[in-house]
Amino acid sequence: MNIEEIRDYCLVKPGVTEGLPFGEDTLVFKVGGKLFLLISIADSTHFNVKCDPEQAIELREQHPEVQPGYHMNKKHWNTVSTEGNLTRGQLCQMIDHSYGLVLKSLPKNLRENIA
């Protein structure tokens, strides 16, 4: 997946916004005002997504393309390479998982407004 495909995939999800809160190079996707994906515009071969801590460890052990989150809480975030053996489906699953974790963490009334 390239950055345009990742952007399109994220933006069709309910309640998603995009922005550049960390500068012109880092594209950020949020749901309910909380981050679920970050990607560098200059080097879009990697993106950061939130992940359940146990699943994060499993993914890192199974796939060299998945590493602890760069500049993020390494327990809860993975940096995922779009170059390598991960399929589009696997990349989308990681994005979906991140979105779902963040959505679940939102207050009930906010979740209901998004859904």
pTM: 0.95
Token pair belonging to 51? 């992940």
**Count of domains in the chain?**
1
Predicted pLDDT of residue 47: 97
Predicted pLDDT of residue 70: 87
What is the tally of helices (H) and strands (E) in the chain? 4, 6
Which CATH number do you get for residue 70? Answer: 3.90.1150.30
Burial of 52 (0-12, 13-18, 19+ CB in 10 A): middle
Pick the closest to residue 64 from 78, 43, 44 (CA basis): 78
Predicted pLDDT of residue 92: 98
- Are 36 and 28 spatial neighbours (Cβ–Cβ below 8 Å)? no
Domain span including residue 55: 3-114
pLDDT means over runs of 10, the chain (115 residues): 96 97 96 97 95 96 95 94 95 98 95 87
Q: Beta-carbon neighbour count of residue 79 at 10 Å?
A: 19
